[in-house]
Amino acid sequence: MTSKLEALTQWVKQVATLTRPAKIHWCDGSDAEYQALVQQMLADGSLIELNQQTHPGCYLHRSDPKDVARVEQLTLVCHPNQDDAGPNNHWMDPAAAHAKIDALFNGCMQGRTLYVIPYCMGPIDSPLSRCGVEITDSAYVVANMKIMTRMGAPALARIEREGSFVKGLHSTGELDPERRWIMHFPAELSIKSYGSGYGGNALLGKKCHALRIASKQARSEGWLAEHMLIVGIENPQGQTHYIAAAFPSACGKTNLSMLIPPEGYRRGGWKVWTVGDDICWMHPGADGRLYAINPEAGFFGVAPGTSDNTNPNAMKSISHDTIFTNVAVNADNQPWWEGLPGTPVTDWQGRPYDPANGPAAHPNSRFTVSVRQCPTWSEMTEAAQGVPISAIVFGGRRPSLLPLVMEARDWSHGVLMGAAMGSETTAAATGAVGVLRRDSMAMKPFCGYHYGDYFAHWLSFDRPSAKLPKIFHVNWFRKGADGKFLWPGFGENLRVLEWMINRAEGHVSGMETPIGILPAAGELNLEGLKLDRARLDALLEVDAVGWQAELNAIGNYLESFAPRLPERLRQELQRVVEALRKADAKLAPLAAAAS
Ligand code: OXD
Ligand code: MN
């Protein structure tokens, strides 16, 4: 088959000449095609059938044990000019990069099928959506792309109409970590990925296209491509506010996007609507507000820790028609991971479970499932114009210092809060876990260009005609002296989101502090929550001495983006430093008590 679009046909031919596949398959995205691929993978062992009585349509894929997470050191952004990549990216000269990776692609698909996957990121008829074509030799990638994107015939029709698309070339190669690269060429709107079958490295629509390439496109076209969930909060009056929230990988974006309101809120008529759990594209609308779409059609969620206690909606979503990767199984051949009741019998590598080998499920094991299977799925995920955003939230895992919630005084301060974000590392990327690292806007692994230019782009949205959302910073992970989390998290986070909405609507006034606006006494609804005064004080404490050190560290970090660090951000930091200096050396705990 060929395409009406000559550029696409030519590119597929060129790739086939280089990679020499046995067969070429153009994906139509149909259910029949998906089922045929599943049967083929069951036959060749790349998928294992799970218990079809308890989990109909669910399968397990075990990856190569050395191919289980994103690999940041092998992920390159190849701008013609190295300075444009910034210190936040690994860079290689585009010509050298092409030569290096094309040598690996040479003949790599011999005996394999080359799949052509046309896909659309975002609702198929939305002007905010963007299309791409991924070429891969992995049936597992095709099956995942079918769930994660709008893939197949309708996407191809749009690509042929528009004439432009992001080109992504992927081969699992030999899965040899020594022969692995994930390369981005933003100026050419292209991606080349070799040697990994792992989600973020191989499902090119996700991190590679929807974040690294799209962030660069967004900068030139005046929008934002962000590592954010999108959640709708409907109040008892039937009004829905949409919130976009950025957290680093494996910090609970999926849980927050589909949270279950606490009992009292549920009874009162509050509802939560899930639009997306990982990526958000935001465009200024004609009315000056920011409108967001979720470019994805599925969740590629972290399995461990997901349970009926932490995320019942995710559990319902993945009870059927789900691909699991690197989870364990129990005696009844059901998927199992740490945090679920029961015991595993076979670990993620297919060995009889032995605690001496570590966790039964890989800490970065995943589920791939359509967003439509989520009980809180919002019809607005299909809205061509997107949803208006009332609040932007930044957050990370911070065991100390950062309060439960604080609001930026204005947009510049909010951009500073995002730029200053830090979090303890997780298993979503290779490397040490639990180390504090700065991760501006949770985009450290995903911003396709220089962070200094990216901060300037964020600041540029602050125009006279703009009606921008308020910006907040949250920390669900603050710990007490006993080393335990102070805040219960999960569904209770709605209490904090309600405060944000009340702030956005002007119903509460908050309390100014040097670091931002915190909830004033009585403004957080704590009804029905067992949280004593001392814990609340600890959650909202502003430790001036600790903050001085923090602001110092933020300043040093931001200066690593000089000379491209916007002066406005430097001034904003200076303003906070001054405000803190004027405040008492050790502020009395700024408590907001429940009324
Ligand atoms: C993800 C990640 O897979 O951020 O979403 O690593
Ligand atoms: Mn992510």
Distance 251 CA to ligand 1 centre (A): 10
Cβ atoms < 10 Å from Cβ of 174: 14
Which string of DSSP letters, residue by residue, matches 358-371? --SS-TT-EEEEEG
What is the predicted pLDDT for the residue at 233?
A: 98
CA angle 206, 252, 224 (to 5 degrees): 45
What is the predicted pLDDT for the residue at 2?
A: 84
Distance 239 CA to ligand 1 centre (A): 31
Handedness of CA 281, 284, 289, 291 (dihedral sign): negative
78 catalytic per annotation: no
Whether 71 contacts 429, CB under 8 Å: yes
Which string of DSSP letters, residue by residue, matches 60-92? EE---TT--SB-GGGEEE--SSGGGT-TTSB--
Whether 421 contacts 441, CB under 8 Å: yes
Please enumerate in sequence order all residues whose Cβ is within 8 A of that of 242, keeping only pairs 6 or more positions apart, or say none.
Answer: 230, 231, 232, 233, 275, 292, 380, 387, 388, 389, 390
**What ligand 1 atom has the least distance to the C-alpha of 429?**
6
Give me the catalytic one of 58, 251, 280, 374.
251
Mutate-to-test residue for ligand 1 from 68, 300, 306, 371, highest number of ligand atoms within 8 A of CB? 300
What is the predicted pLDDT for the residue at 429?
A: 73
- Adjacent-strand bridge partners of 422: 438
Q: Which amino acid belongs to residue 13?
A: K
Spatial separation of the C-alpha atoms in residues 74 and 197, rounded to whole Å: 14
**What ligand 1 atom has the least distance to the C-alpha of 227?**
4
Please enumerate in sequence order all residues whose Cβ is within 8 A of that of 495, keeping only pairs 6 or more positions apart, or say none.
Answer: 262, 524, 525, 526, 529
Q: Which amino acid belongs to residue 504?
A: A
Spatial separation of the C-alpha atoms in residues 85 and 447, rounded to whole Å: 9
Distance 197 CA to ligand 1 centre (A): 14
Mutate-to-test residue for ligand 1 from 144, 208, 228, 278, highest number of ligand atoms within 8 A of CB? 278
Selection from 270, 211, 279, 202 nearest residue 236 by Cα = 270
Per the structure block, which two tokens stand in for 318? 């993945």
- Adjacent-strand bridge partners of 48: 60
Whether 501 contacts 233, CB under 8 Å: yes
Please enumerate in sequence order all residues whose Cβ is within 8 A of that of 556, keeping only pairs 6 or more positions apart, or say none.
Answer: none
Spatial separation of the C-alpha atoms in residues 404 and 506, rounded to whole Å: 20
What is the predicted pLDDT for the residue at 584?
A: 65
Owner of token pair 């005996």? 111
**What ligand 1 atom has the least distance to the C-alpha of 249?**
4
The one-digit pLDDT tens for each residue of the chain (595 residues) are 789 999 999 999 999 999 999 999 999 999 999 999 999 999 999 999 999 999 999 999 999 999 998 999 999 999 999 999 999 999 999 999 999 999 999 999 999 999 999 999 999 999 999 999 999 999 999 999 999 999 999 999 999 999 999 999 999 999 999 999 999 999 999 999 999 999 999 999 999 999 999 999 999 999 999 999 999 999 999 999 999 999 998 789 999 999 999 999 999 999 999 999 999 999 999 999 999 999 999 999 999 999 999 999 999 999 999 999 999 999 999 999 999 999 999 999 999 999 999 999 999 999 999 999 999 999 999 999 999 999 999 999 999 999 999 999 999 999 999 999 998 877 777 777 777 889 999 999 999 999 999 999 999 999 999 999 999 999 999 999 899 999 999 999 999 999 999 999 999 999 999 999 999 999 999 999 999 999 999 999 999 989 999 999 999 999 999 999 999 999 999 999 999 999 864 455 554 444 4
Helix, strand, or coil here: 357? helix
Distance 302 CA to ligand 2 centre (A): 10
What is the predicted pLDDT for the residue at 26?
A: 98
**What ligand 1 atom has the least distance to the C-alpha of 200?**
3
Cα 233 from chain centre: 20
Selection from 350, 268, 401 nearest residue 45 by Cα = 350
Give the closest residue (by CA) to ligand 1 atom 3. Answer: 200
Q: Which amino acid belongs to residue 308?
A: D
Closest ligand by atom to 445 CA: 1
What are the backbone angles phi and psi of residue 563, rounded to the nearest 5°?
Answer: -85, 5
Which string of DSSP letters, residue by residue, matches 521-586? TT-S--TT----HHHHHHHT---HHHHHHHHHHHHHHHHTTTTSS-HHHHHHHHHHHHHHHHS-SS
Spatial separation of the C-alpha atoms in residues 92 and 350, rounded to whole Å: 38
Instruction: State the pTM of this model.
Output: 0.96
Element housing 212 (H / E): none
Helices (H) and strands (E) in the chain, counts: 16, 29
What are the backbone angles phi and psi of residue 133, rounded to the nearest 5°?
Answer: -130, 125
Strands 23-26 and 130-136: unpaired
Give the closest residue (by CA) to ligand 1 atom 2. Answer: 249
Spatial separation of the C-alpha atoms in residues 302 and 254, rounded to whole Å: 8
Q: Which amino acid belongs to residue 552?
A: N
Handedness of CA 524, 526, 527, 532 (dihedral sign): negative
Judge if the upstream peptide bond of residue 344 is cis by omega within 30 degrees of 0: no
Burial of residue 16, with CB atoms counted within 10 A of its CB: 0-12 exposed, 13-18 middle, 19 or more buried: middle
What is the predicted pLDDT for the residue at 432?
A: 74
**Which protein residues touch ligand 1 with a CB less than 6 Å away?**
70, 199-200, 249, 278, 300, 428
Per the structure block, which two tokens stand in for 234? 């409907």
Give the closest residue (by CA) to ligand 1 atom 4. Answer: 249
Spatial separation of the C-alpha atoms in residues 427 and 430, rounded to whole Å: 7
Distance 440 CA to ligand 2 centre (A): 14
